[in-house]
């Protein structure tokens, strides 16, 4: 049975090999070749100046968020019974009405890391304070020992924006209670 199929297959192959395909007919009056012409250039509208309403709508569009990573080591460590808390704020973190975005407790050796997601273009500041250790109530506590990073940090760029090796000293000052963190949506 297999031999019979092989014989039929060989005959089919031989028949196909004997067939010659006819070449397509040469163009003549019956089948004229159309002339090749260039397509007209597309009409592209020229940009127009935005109307005041369009400009206002664009200004109201939400700004893309930036992921800002902050890491460093404070120049001192916390004494027994206290912690070093690092505050990230929009604008001046020492201001009475500061918009605090994050609060993180530094490790015992003063190292810290945190990240915030804010609209690109915001200016951020960092403060640190020695506070009483109270894990039952992690809210900010009154302190007289705090400090501010001497420069502001701009949340500008794409992807992850990293600020590393941040450090600054703390000093004695008048009583201060830092604002508790609140969401970005509640910004003024």
Which CATH number is 61-182 given?
2.60.40
Query: Is the torsion defined by CA of 123, 112, 158, 119 positive or negative?
Result: negative
Nearest in space to 176 (alpha carbons), one of 152, 141, 138, 132: 141
Q: Higher pLDDT residue, 55 or 158?
A: 158
Q: What is the pLDDT of residues 113-133, one digit of tens each?
A: 999 999 988 999 999 999 988
- Confidence bin at 45 (pLDDT 50/70/90): low
Name the pTM for this structure: 0.65
Rounded mean pLDDT of the chain?
81
Q: What is the pLDDT of residues 131-163, one digit of tens each?
A: 988 777 777 788 999 999 999 999 998 878 999
Residue range 160-183: mean pLDDT, rounded: 92
Check if the beta carbon of residue 120 is closer than 8 Å to that of residue 64.
Answer: yes
Using a pLDDT cut of 70, give the percent of the chain over it. 69
Q: Are 132 and 82 in contact (CB under 8 A)?
A: yes
Residue 133 pLDDT: 84
Average pLDDT on 156-181 reads 91
Residue 128: strand pairing partners: 86, 147
For residue 62, count other CB atoms closer than 10 A to its CB.
6
Confidence of residue 84 (pLDDT cuts 50, 70, 90): very high
pLDDT of residue 188: 47
Apex 20 CA angle, 18 and 23, nearest 5: 175
Cβ–Cβ under 8 Å, residues 88 and 124: yes
Is it the case that residue 97 has pLDDT exceeding 50?
A: yes
């Amino acid at each position: 049975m297999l031999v019979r199929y092989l014989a039929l297959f060989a005959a089919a192959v031989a028949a196909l090999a004997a067939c010659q395909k006819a070449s397509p007919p040469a163009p003549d009056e019956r089948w004229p070749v159309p002339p090749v012409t260039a397509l007209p250039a597309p009409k592209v509208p020229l940009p127009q100046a935005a109307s005041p309403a369009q400009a206002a709508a664009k200004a109201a569009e939400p700004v893309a968020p930036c992921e800002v990573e902050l890491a460093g080591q404070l120049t001192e460590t916390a004494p027994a019974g206290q912690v070093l808390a690092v505050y990230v704020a929009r604008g001046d973190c020492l201001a009475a009405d500061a918009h605090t975005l994050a609060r993180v407790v530094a490790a015992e050796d003063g190292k810290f890391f945190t990240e915030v997601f804010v609209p690109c273009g915001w200016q951020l500041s960092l403060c640190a304070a020695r506070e009483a250790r109270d894990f039952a109530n992690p809210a900010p506590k009154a302190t007289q020992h705090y400090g501010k990073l001497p420069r502001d940090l701009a949340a500008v760029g794409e992807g992850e924006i990293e600020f590393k090796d941040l450090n600054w000293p703390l000093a004695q000052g008048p009583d201060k209670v830092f604002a508790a963190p609140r969401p970005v949506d509640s910004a003024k």
